[in-house]
Structure formats: structure tokens, C-alpha cells
Structure 1
Amino acid sequence: MTKSTVEEHEARGATSKVFQDLTNAPTPPLPDAAQEEWWLDAGSLLSRLLQVGQYTLKQQEEHLLFFRQHFLPYFGPYPPRWNSVLTRSGLPLEYSLNFQQSRDPVVRISFEPVSHFAGTSADPFNKRPSEEMVDRVAKMRLRNFDRTLFDHFATETFITDNEVERIPNLDSYPVKTHTALAFDLNGDDICVKGYVHVRWKSMSSKTPIRDLIQTTFAKVKVKMNCAAAVDLVDAYMAETSSYNQYNFLAWDLTPLHQSRLKLYGAHNEVSLCKIEEVWTLGGRLTDQIATEGLGLIYRLWELLGLDSTTRQYGNGYDDYMNQGVDDRLSPLIWNYEMRAGSTRPSPKIYFPVHGENDLKVATAVSHFLASLGPKSEGANYVKCLASLYPHLDISMTSRLQAWISYSYTEKGVYMSVYYHSTSSYPLPSCAH
């Protein structure tokens, strides 16, 4: 790792002593220049996120070592050549901070593992690295780690090598992400989640997306005792024609009785009316929790000041200030969480803030979190965001925050902010 490379990245913002010590440690060296660049660019931002989350020095070191040892081998070339659907920039990495009432923020990492074979005939959908990373993590014996659901979804929804050949004109699809993973850094523990885009299996098997999803859920929903929640979500999604190519599924890599099933939807209409419909499943969810949560949605919507509009989003990547408006704006996304042992689905709304002024968004988040009471962490969120990107003027940027997710349970607000996840902004020579 050259001195000039380190100095170039350090100019983008101070890092923790823990990060600096790991960077300067003589052993074990990183095996290639790409991993060195990813470590300095993405690892440096992770170090600042861990500081914002008030992780102990020991926890910071453990999580940075985990990132260094288990993430860096799966980033692929630097700058990236594979465009991931995880982010609007195409970056295969997305950090987020989760805010809950009466606790410190939690750092989370969404990641599409990538190899040098991604997008080639050897692995056109970049599927194998996620499977390899799960195998790798399984050997670590993380607390409560269980791959039962991962193996189930792999069997039911992962496209096989033979099925790939049934999809014509592969090069005509700009987005080919198939599988991704996520890691919640909960104090000393790491919780793992899996994701799959069902579009490819549906196309190759000529199975309607709704049928594929419900067949997949049917084989586990009884064991997880969440059939009523799954059926309620299915009724709404079918009624509103919300089953489409943008659906993806998620699950926890934990024992079945602790896990959740998730179904994601997307719509170009970004409006309070549509959000209310999604939140209540078209009037199917009207209990006290839903009503209280909806009241806070009205408050958050007003603070964010988003325009009610139909957004002509067309899968465009956007990491530059000179992109057109249609490429810049994001659609509305939501998911329904169906937890083992629960008859009630829990909705989560993803407010699209990519392209909105970052200071404006941060101020809205800060005011919203402060309004939840004196015990709410994140009231100083503007300062928090500025500390993540100290080399940037957040009053002049509009790509650092991509989504604000919001859900509400009997424990209160559960809210996350999703970030542009390298210190570089934008990534140098990003291929779009």
C-alpha cells in the first residue's frame, strides 16, 4: 500500500485510531491493489460509522477486522465494473444507520459479493459469490446463525446454470443482481440476512412471480407459524397488482422460530396517499399500532418535504450531478415483515431521498428523531452526517443519503438512513 494512496484517502476525512492501526499493521498484508483501495475507501467510512454508533474500541476493531477479512475478498475490481441494484450508484455496498428509541444507533451493511467473473458467461448473474460468502460465514459459528432458510430459498428461487440459458438476450438487461446479503452489527454480535430477486427464476421457469413467491413461502410459513400474515400480505399485493419484476424476498439466517420473511414492493407513485394505502394494506391493517405509526408518517412526510408525484424511474444509475431528473429520482419502496409466531405483518416504508439536498434531509431526520422524546438517539443527526463525510459540504450534496426507512411496533419507531457508502464521491471512473 503506497504512502500516496493512503494520503489521498486520508484527505477525504479523519479515521479512527483503530482503522489507522489496522491499515499500518505489517501483517497480514492485503493480497492486491483492489482490496487495498476498497479498504481505504469503504473501510474508512465504516470506521466513522462505528464511531457515530458509539461502538467500543474492541467492537470497532472486531467489526473492522470482519470487514477486512470477509468482505474485501468479495468486492471485485476497483473501481467496480459490476453494477449492483443495491444502490443508485451501482456500488455493491450500502451502509445504513438504524435508530431506535432508547438505544445507540446500529450499523448495518448490505452487500452484493462480487467476483471477477461477475457478468461473464461463467457467472452472468453474479450468483456464486453470495453462496461462497455464506459458506465462509457459516464456518465462523456466529451466535444464532442458521442457514436453513438460505438453503430453502436457494432451492426454490435461485436460478440454476441450466435455467440461465433459457433467458434470451442477457446483455439487454442493465441490472442483473440476483442475490445479496446484509449484516447487522449488533454490539458484539453479527446478524446475517439474505436477499433474492425472484425475477430471474420467474423468467427462466415461466412461473408467474406471485406463484413463485407464494409457493416458496408456503413451504415454510406453517413451520414458522406466520401463515395468516403471509396470506394477508398476498391478498393486498394481488389486489393492487404489486407483484412485478421489482419484487424481492429477504429472510434472516437464524433458526426458524426467530426468523422473518420479507416481501418487497415498489411503485412509481410517491405520495402520502399511496404510502397510507401500503401502510394499511389497503385498509386491512387498522389496529392501534398501525394508527399510531401512520400518525408519525404524516409528521415525517411533512418534515422531509417530498413532492407528491409519479416518478418515471427506469432503473437508471445515478452518481453524478449532471444526470437527468428521471434518472435522479427514486421510486417508493416498501416491505412487509412476517415474523415467526406472529399473525400480523409489519410494514416498512422506504422514503426515497436520493437526489434531495442532504442538509435538508438530515435536518428533517434530526427534527423527527428529536420529536420522539428526550431518550431518542439521533437528535444531533446533522452533525452525525457531516462527520461521516468531513471533506464534503452537505449543504451542496444530494446523493449521500438514499433512503429513509420507517416502521413502527409496540416498542416505538424503527428508522434507518441508507448512505452512499464510500468516502469517494462519486467513485472514480465509475462505469455507467
Structure 2
Amino acid sequence: MDEAQLNHARRRSVAQTAAAIGVILLLVGALMFVLSSRQESRALDAELGQVLTMAEDVDDPPPGQVLARRATGTDAVEVTSSASPELVGVLKDALRRQPTRYDTDAADDHPVRVQIEHRVDGSRWAVAADLAPLRQRQEQLGIALLVAELAGLAGALAAAALLARRAVAPLATALTLQRRFVADASHELRTPLTVLHTRAQLLLRRARTQPAEQLTDQLEQLVADTRALGEVVEDLLVAAAEHQPPPDTVVDLAEVAREVVASMSVYAREREVELRLEVTGAAVVRGARTALRRALTALVDNAVGHVAVGGHVTVTVRHRDGRIAADVTDDGVGLDPAEADRLLGRFAHGSNGTGRRFGLGLALVQQVAQAHKGSLQVGGAPGRGATFTLLLPAY
């Protein structure tokens, strides 16, 4: 899964969540509209029924209403004087019906509600109420609910976007960690594999011209390099799968430097670079031997890659101000001290050097140094070589 797929999943989650919330808001709004409309309609019916019950004549009905009456034993109809001719006709027709309630139009765009009552004295009464106020209130209610639903939908979109971002964030973090592990593992394995390949080629050439017993030292070094490669793989798998901290053991950094120089010497000779070691005795620190070896290997690989044919790389391990310093010095293209911080960032690299470089080595060395409560120092000048110092607390 890449970032494009994560973004697509986030957008899809937002759309689905917002759609679900929008449907719920729509259903709730429709239900509220129906219930409110029915309540107002029932209130109007109750009011009309009360008017019919209490009416004694047709002269003074409540505002917006018109009364009509037909007395017992006569066809004469009395109607409120303010009634329009159309409404008079509606009421006369109503008085010929049985008691009921219905809605009709007295004229164009003039809806009315008519309610009919037959009294025990034989008289018939009818009242008509203008439905325009009721319809206007219903329209206002519908608009208010629509605005509320739109506001709710906007809030739902914002909430869905936030929730989707939070939900996808762990996946994005996992993707970043996965890519970082792949990049780190690839870089960590690149140099040991290159050394193994170079040593195997050298052994193959010598095996054609030298007796087998003269290749013992080279074969032993090949076995040591293979073992070191296995330790790197195991270290990476433990760190990735078990999330365990690196082992904290007593390590002689001078001995680690000897192993690195012995392993990288064939690779350096193939590039016609002289690799030298200068140690003055034991240099004991606490930490993970495999990680420290990886760090020194990365520094040597970086130095060899930035030295021209006939150049020199020197690994020096010494005590300095109560700490252990492992210097990897070369007389290659050098560097601008102002770029030191940038070069220690992930995927950062200088413009010089040979081979395909990914800018991960120095960043990984700095991580190892920090994990061992140390630091990586950078020195040098353009055209005058560079020195990278792994500075660790002495044990």
C-alpha cells in the first residue's frame, strides 16, 4: 500500500462516513418535519372543534376563520359577512355534508380547512380556517431543518475527515516504518554483500593458480565475513520483529576496528585504495557489537567511495578525554564543513564519490552513535579529505 492508496482510502472513508451521517440527518429531519406538521394540524383541528362548540352566531369568529350556519327546517344559510364569494360557496357546500373535516381551495392559492358539526337542535354549522399560516410555518420549519442538516453535514464532513486522518495515521506510520526498514536493511546489507562478492571473485582467481592450502587465510576471512553478514541480518530482524533494544555488552572497539579493516581490505584494494589501521591498545565500550561493526563498516565504505585511485583511508581508535574515539580519515575529495549537518540526514549525500549512493550510511551511523550515548563528528575541507569520528563513552 502506497501513499496514493492511503489517501484514496482516507477520502473514501470520509465520503462513506459523511454519506451515512447525511442519511441519518435526512431521516431525522424528515421525521421531525412530519411530526411537527401533524402536531400543528391536530392543534388546528382542536381549535376549529372548539369554535364550532362555542359559536352562538356567525358574526364574530376568530381571526382567519369564517362561520356558516343553517337553522333547523330552513334552507337559508348564514355566513360571516367578511367571507369571500368563493368561501361562501365552499361553506354552503359543506353544510350539505355529514360531519367531517377536509381541506379544499376557496380560490386560486387560497387553501382552507373546513370542519362540519350537526347539533342536537337540528342546526348545521361549518367553520373554514385559512391554511396559509399553517403552510407558511411548515415551510419555515422545512427551511430551518434543511439549514440544520446542511450545517450538520458540514460538521460531519469535518469530523469524518479528522477521524479518517486519525484512523489512517497508524497505517501511514507503518508504511513509513516499513519503507525505512527496507531502506536501512538494504543499505546495511549492500556493503557486506559487496565485500563478500569481491572476496569470492579474488578467491576464484587465486584458486586457478595457487594450491588450496595457500588459500586458507582467505577462506577463513570469507567465513568471517559471512558470519558478520548473518549477524547483521539477525540484528535487523530482531529490531524489526521483536522491537527489542540492542544488547548491552562489553565491546573492544579496537578489536571491532581490526575486523572491519580485515574485512574491507580486499574491497579497498580492488578500488586501489590503501586501507590502514592505527590502534594503541584496548578501547572498551558498552553496546551492541554488531551495530558498532556496522557503523564502522559504513564509515569505511563511505571513505573508500570518496577517495580517488591511489588514495588512503585510515582507521584510528584511541582514547580521548575519557572517551573512545574511532576516526575514519581519508585524503579524498573532502567536504564543506557547512554541509556537515545536512550530510547526516537521511537520503542526503555529497555531490562527489563513486558508485550508486543512497545517503543512508551516515544517518545510520549517527543513529548507532546516539543509541550508544555517543555522537558522530564530521571534519574536513574541500579537496583536503574528511574525517568522521565515532565518539563513545569509555567503559
Give the structure-1-normalised TM-score: 0.21
Normalised TM-score (structure 2):
0.22
Which protein has the larger Cα radius of gyration, Structure 1 or Structure 2?
Answer: 2
Query: 1 or 2, which has the higher helix percentage?
Result: 2
The structure with higher relative contact order (CA 8 Å, sep 6+) is 1
